[in-house]
Amino acid sequence: PLLRALEVLRRQAKKPAVREVLQSVRDRIADGASLSDAMQAHPQTFDAVTIGIVRAGEEGGFLEESLRRNGLLRERADE
């Protein structure tokens, strides 16, 4: 499901740079990396807090919830 979701996001991205990052993250995961490790390869896109939240979700078995919470944090920060 994660690889499919990243592919859908990549196809929907309007900016070429975003498409490239999503493709890279997807490729790294397909090669066996965790999501947090794949994201960590792009520090210009994903900050340390986001990577930490994702890593905690992976290790604790609640990745879906950690992604949801991170989305809420980002929405609040943008407001």
Residue 77: predicted pLDDT? 87
Helix (H) or strand (E) holding 71: helix 63-78
Rounded to 5°, the CA angle 63-14-11 comes to 60
Contacts of 7 (CB under 8 A, 6+ apart): 26
Residue 79: predicted pLDDT? 86
pLDDT of 22 strictly over 90: yes
Predicted TM-score of the model (pTM) = 0.86
Q: Which amino acid is at 78?
A: D
16-36 average pLDDT score = 97
Q: How long is the chain?
A: 79
Residue 74: predicted pLDDT? 87
Rounded to 5°, the CA angle 26-28-14 comes to 30
